A and B are shown apart, each in its own frame.
Chain A
Amino acid sequence: MPMPPRRIAIVWLVLLGLLGGNILLAYAGLGIAAPAVHIVIAAAMAALVLLVFMELDRGASLFWVFAGAGFFWLAILFALTAADYLTRYNFAPTTGG
């Protein structure tokens, strides 16, 4: 059986470690900070997959533009949605809309 390239093997182990860390943190009772912590760890995992497994770190700059475009428009989608829901008093979380 041939050995896997060292770089991707390390990234795979780091990904499994981050997954384990995220699960442990879920049981640690982080309270209100929990969603943000989980999302940041998930984003780090996604970044590793994008850069190393999808080889974006070695990709042409045009790939970066295409990959970034999706996330850019996604940010607009979230920002405009938040601008609506976060500023409407009748959609406050306590009333449930």
Chain B
Amino acid sequence: MSEHVLEKQFADLAHQSETAELGIWGFIATEVLFLGGLFCAYTVYRYLQPAAVIEAARHTKIVIGSVNTGVLLTSSFFMSWASLAARAGQSRLLGWLMLIAAALGVVFVALKGLEYAQEITEHLWPGQHFSLDIAEPREGEVFYFIYWLLTGIHALHLIVGICAVSVIARRAMRGEFSAAYHSPVRVVSLYWHFVDIVWIFLFVLIYLPGRGA
């Protein structure tokens, strides 16, 4: 197996794996800046319109949001376990753990879809039919614009992650990875954890404001 997966530009598998891992860290750095720009927009708007953001955020679905955060953290736990199983050469266990992580990702997307459906019914989609029972509904609408944009981009990242993890899980089940060669597992797991970190911050910025009042 190992002779077939080593690309000719690398000295050995360790060199190849380290390069792949460095590549995904570089990709994550670009993602930090891409999403960071949107987080920056949120921060500026919250500074400009603190009352409207707090009032609008109170209408987000905190139960679904909290459950989903727990689901994503749990999926990260299984993904981390999968990385360790890959290093130990436990191919079948690795495959199952990745499938569990991907399934939890599907649960997250399904719950998010349920939440989106409720919000559309409540006219929280910005535009002509937007309606929000707060003192400054127009300012609240901008919060929901940022909300849909950020959570939508996050959900898109997660769907890409579910597909990538499912493909790698299938390869693991076929026994394509070993203790010496499993860098695709490391690469998708780092991406998966990053998407989890983005949600950790999204959760506190979107769902928690204004709950104590």
Contacts and interface: CB of A to CB of B under 8 A. Distances in A.
A11 B47 CA distance: 34
B130 interface: no
> Chain A: interface secondary structure?
helix
B40 A62 contact: no
Given A12-B77, A60-B18, A27 B211 contact: yes
A23 B206 CA distance: 12
A85 B47 contact: yes
B52 to A, nearest CB: 8
Given A26-B208, A54-B190, A93-B48, A45 B200 contact: yes
Contacts, number: 135
Contact of B209 (A34, A53, A70): A34
Interface in B39-93: 40, 43-44, 46-50, 62, 66, 69-70, 73-74, 76-77, 79-81, 83-84, 90, 93
A74 B74 contact: no
A-B pairs with lowest CB-CB distance, top 4: A70-B29, A70-B32, A29-B212, A66-B25
